């Protein structure tokens, strides 16, 4: 190990997230947002983007600006029109991920890379049709000397406070959902594992979520992992519970993540064997199910099969249909149907439906 790496480990240690407090118990003095402001020249920003010292995280929306929008930004730099503040998140290795400003930064990088020509300018129409390399060197220097204000959220900010701030800065035309935000805030080995599991063929089959543009399958994987491994610490709201789990296991060991993967894979195999296309959907005695997933039922079924010890390799179609009939009877029971209907995120409802379905499955398959 080099002396440089030893020094870097001392100066920029990775956080120990395994002893973190519950989100709802964050002390008041830790609820503050820690930030630092930087005024970077366009020249510096361009170099940082090329070296990925500043980078666009995977959870961010793809680049959607058209050439006219991007050209207006470049023209604003020329006429020295104020540009909105860029918001970044600084990681423990001192790199910056972009929270708000993806379209602006990508436009600057593309233009300086000579990847589009200017179009639709109003203040300087003389520059229409010109690429970066076509501009007079004096105009190029003028643009590269312009500075943009950047506000960076520092790594010692509590993760749940970051989540709240990310939501407040979520200004896109299609706002990021909770799981997309988690992929940015808690990016690390756990999120990578969740992404991998969300793409498994059997998971796609039982959830019937094929085109997953909003990370829905990923959130359901994380939901299962959190309840399978941390159910006793469950609290409402569910979003806070999932955030706490993602923070706690953000940098989990490879051994822990392999166990998560094995448990998840076995649970999906079992639920597929038992219910197939009926998985996670209430159905009637004719075995007609609703199309949409009931996520409360998903909790109950996935944790119940996770706890199930019986191997299911020899499970027959006759046994399966007998189970389906009993399950349809269970859906008719008011006490159970209420736990997968209204108010499904309360602690009593979550623990109640999981326990009820676990007992039911053991009775049917015991």
pLDDT tens track for 338-347: 999 877 889 9
Give the pLDDT of residue 17: 39
Give the pLDDT of residue 171: 61
SS3 148: strand
Do 185 and 159 touch, CB atoms closer than 8 A? yes
SS3 7: helix
Same domain as 286, residue 344: yes
Quickly count: other Cβ atoms within 10 Å of residue 227's Cβ: 23
Same domain as 182, residue 151: no
pLDDT grade for 166, boundaries at 50, 70 and 90: confident
Indicate whether 99 belongs to any domain.
Answer: yes
Same domain as 81, residue 200: no
CATH number of the domain that residue 71 is part of: 3.90.1530
Give the mean pLDDT of 146-172.
83
Give the pLDDT of residue 156: 84
What sign does the dihedral 187-51-137-117 (CA atoms) show? Answer: negative
Indicate whether 12 belongs to any domain.
Answer: no
pLDDT grade for 62, boundaries at 50, 70 and 90: confident
Q: What is the pTM of this model?
A: 0.68
Which residue in this structure is represented by tokens 């030893």?
Answer: 6
Q: What are the tens digits of pLDDT across the range 91-135?
A: 878 899 898 898 999 999 999 999 999 999 999 999 999 999 999
Give the pLDDT of residue 27: 66
Same domain as 313, residue 219: yes
Give the pLDDT of residue 21: 38
Same domain as 182, residue 324: yes
Indicate whether 61 belongs to any domain.
Answer: yes
Domain count, the chain: 2
Higher pLDDT, 4 or 99: 99
Give the pLDDT of residue 181: 82
- Please give the mean pLDDT across all residues of the chain: 88
Indicate whether 220 belongs to any domain.
Answer: yes
Same domain as 239, residue 124: no
pLDDT grade for 23, boundaries at 50, 70 and 90: very low
- Residue 297 structural domain: 178-365
Which residue in this structure is represented by tokens 């008719």?
Answer: 332
Q: What are the tens digits of pLDDT across the range 259-278?
A: 999 999 999 999 999 999 99
Same domain as 133, residue 77: yes
Give the mean pLDDT of 192-213.
90
Same domain as 105, residue 202: no
What is the residue-wise DSSP string for 329-360?
HHHH-HHHHHHTSSSTTSHHHHHHHHHHHHHH
- Helix (H) or strand (E) segment spanning residue 186: none
Q: In this predicted structure, which of 209-218, 276-285, 350-359 has the lowest mean pLDDT?
A: 209-218
**Boundary-marking domain end, from 90, 123, 155:** 155
SS3 151: strand
Give the mean pLDDT of 233-258.
93
Same domain as 201, residue 348: yes
How many angstroms separate the CA atoms of 288 and 165, rounded? 44
Tell which phi-psi region holds residue 30, choosing left (phi > 0), alpha (psi between -120 and 50) or beta: alpha
Same domain as 129, residue 192: no
pLDDT grade for 73, boundaries at 50, 70 and 90: very high
């Amino acid at each position: 190990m080099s002396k440089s790496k030893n020094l870097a480990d001392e100066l920029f240690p990775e956080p120990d997230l395994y002893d973190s407090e519950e989100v709802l118990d964050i002390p008041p003095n830790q609820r503050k947002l820690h930030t630092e402001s930087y005024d970077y020249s366009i020249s510096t920003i361009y170099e940082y983007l090329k070296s990925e010292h500043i980078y666009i995280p995977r959870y961010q929306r793809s680049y959607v600006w058209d050439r006219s929008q991007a050209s207006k930004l470049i023209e604003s730099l020329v006429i020295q029109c104020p540009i909105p503040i860029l918001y970044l998140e600084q990681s423990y290795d001192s790199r910056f991920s972009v929270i708000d400003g993806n379209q602006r930064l990508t436009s600057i990088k593309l233009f300086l890379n000579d990847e589009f020509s200017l179009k639709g300018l109003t203040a300087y129409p003389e520059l229409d049709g010109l690429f970066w390399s076509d501009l007079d060197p004096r105009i190029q220097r003028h643009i590269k000397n312009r500075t943009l204000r950047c506000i960076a959220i520092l790594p010692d900010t509590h993760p749940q406070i970051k989540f709240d701030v990310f939501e407040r800065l979520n200004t896109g035309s299609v706002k990021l959902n909770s799981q997309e935000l988690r992929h940015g805030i808690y990016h690390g080995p756990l999120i990578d594992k969740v992404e991998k599991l969300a793409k498994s063929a059997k998971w796609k089959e039982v959830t019937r979520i094929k085109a997953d543009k909003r990370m829905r399958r990923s959130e359901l994987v994380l939901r299962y992992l959190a309840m399978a491994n941390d159910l006793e610490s469950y609290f409402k709201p569910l979003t806070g519970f999932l955030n706490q789990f993602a923070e706690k296991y953000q940098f989990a060991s490879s051994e822990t993540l392999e166990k998560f993967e094995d448990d998840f894979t076995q649970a999906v195999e079992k639920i597929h064997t038992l219910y197939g296309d009926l998985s996670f959907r209430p159905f009637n005695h004719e075995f007609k199910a609703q199309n949409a997933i009931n996520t409360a039922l998903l909790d109950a079924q996935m944790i119940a099969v996770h706890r199930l010890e019986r191997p299911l390799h020899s499970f027959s179609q006759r046994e399966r249909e007998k189970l389906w009939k009993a399950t349809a009877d269970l859906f008719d029971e008011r006490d159970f149907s209420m736990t997968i209907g209204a108010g499904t995120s309360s602690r009593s409802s979550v623990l109640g439906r999981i326990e009820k379905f676990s007992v039911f499955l053991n009775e049917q398959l015991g």
